[in-house]
Amino acid sequence: MSRMTFFRWRNLSHGDRRRRILLRLGAILIALAIIPELGTRRVLVINTSPSVAPGLYVRSSDEPAVGKLVDFCIPPAARDYVRGRTGNSGENWYILKPILAGPGDRVDTTSEWLVINGRRIALMPPRTDGNGRPLPVWRESRVLAGDEFVVFSNRISNSFDSRCYGPIRRQQIETVREALITW
């Protein structure tokens, strides 16, 4: 505690000190009551993956749409890869990615490129990951159905996204997220 802070604290009346202590204790107790609830309901999540800016993300009331950031359960097409990589099926794990394409958009992954509505977006991923494990690769050319979204991140070249496991369906999406703070 600095001299100035100590000096101000010392000059407070006993009642003022007591009120400040009670307010601080109350704030701590409220925080201790709220923080676990935020985690169990997934109101607030921490992202550590480099494919989306690491940080804290809060639940949004927005509907999934192109340009929105969503978190979703690991798609069934990706679970074998996740199991082989981590030893866990990932059934209770979530992926956080931005939506690149939505219902009615034409998506083509049959060449070396991910192509959305005729525009080249990014190279398709390699056939294996950095440790030589085969990556799932989605190869189709079609228009997305009314409940399908393609997720993609260009922050890193080896993003594990729809190029690997295909479109995600609306019912797989847990929620739209907004960055609270990133680092």
Structural domain spans, the chain: 3-40, 44-182
Give the residues of the chain that fall short of pLDDT 70: 1-12, 26, 29-41
pLDDT of residue 19: 81
Query: What ranges in the chain are assigned the alpha helix state H?
Result: 3-11, 14-40, 76-86, 162-165
What does the pLDDT read at residue 12? Answer: 66
Give me the CATH topology for the region 44-182: Umud Fragment, subunit A (2.10.109)
The 10 Å CB-count burial string (b at 16+, else e) for 111-135 is: eeebbbeeeebbebbeeebeeeeeb
Q: What is the pLDDT of residue 141?
A: 98
82 in Cβ contact with 74 (< 8 Å): yes
DSSP 66: T
**Is the whole-model pTM more than 0.95?**
no
- In this prediction, residue 41 carries a pLDDT of 66
